[in-house]
Amino acid sequence: MRRNKEHSKQGLPCEDMRLCFKRTSPLKNDMNTKVNLCGIELDNPIIPASGTFGFGYEFAELYDINMLGTFSFKGTTKEARFGNPTPRIAECYAGMINAVGLQNPGVEKVISEELPKLQKCFNKKVMANVSGFSIEEYVYTCEQLDKCDIVGWLEVNVSCPNVHGGGMAFGTSPEGAAEVVRAVKAATTKPVIVKLSPNVTDIVAIAKACEAAGADGISLINTMLGMRIDLKTRKPVIANKMGGFSGPAIFPVAVRMVYQVSHAVNIPVIGMGGVSSAEDAVEMLLAGATAVEVGAANLVDPYACKKIIEDLPRVMEKYKIESLAGLKID
Residue 28's CB is within 10 A of a number of other CB atoms, namely 11
Rounded to the nearest 10°, the torsion over CA 159, 295, 285, 217 is 30
| Contact criterion met (CB below 8 Å) for 40 and 46 | no
| Contact criterion met (CB below 8 Å) for 61 and 54 | no
Secondary structure (DSSP) of 191-244: -EEEEPPSSSS-HHHHHHHHHHTT-SEEEE--PEEE--EETTTTEESSTTS-EE
Q: Is 160 a catalytic residue?
A: yes
Question: Which candidate in 14, 142, 160, 210 is catalytic?
Answer: 160
Q: CA 76 to CA 250: how far, in whole Å?
A: 25
Distances (CA, A) of 29 to 25, 26, 33: 12, 8, 11
Which residue in 212, 207, 213 sits closest to 181, CA to CA? 213
* Active-site annotation, residues: 160
